[in-house]
């Protein structure tokens, strides 16, 4: 299967938002736990930026999940 990078990044952001909301966390809560700005979390969730592996690990730690769970994205075209 050939997945567009842009589509994956957008769906990745949606997935992070869903996981964050499932934990009843605000963007600010997640940002604080990751040592990032709320603006940066928002940009990731909107699929505006291609985030780094380091950030993925920080987000996973803040959500108390394994990094691989963040990458388990359902790609909707």
Confidence of residue 73 (pLDDT cuts 50, 70, 90): confident
Over 80: is that where the pLDDT of 71 sits? yes
Domain 5-67 part of CATH 1.10.260.40: yes
Record the pTM.
0.89
Residue 64 gets the label, from left (phi > 0), alpha (psi -120 to 50) or beta, of: left
Over 80: is that where the pLDDT of 76 sits? no
Out of 8-12, 44-48, 53-57, 71-75, least confident range:
71-75
DSSP 75: P
């Amino acid at each position: 299967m050939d997945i567009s990078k842009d589509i994956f990044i957008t769906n990745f952001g949606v997935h992070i938002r869903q996981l964050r909301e499932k934990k009843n966390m605000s963007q600010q809560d997640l940002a604080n736990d990751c040592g990032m700005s709320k603006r940066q979390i928002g940009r990731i969730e909107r699929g505006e930026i291609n985030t780094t592996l380091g950030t993925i690990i920080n987000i996973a730690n803040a959500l108390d999940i394994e990094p691989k769970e963040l990458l388990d994205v359902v790609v909707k075209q």
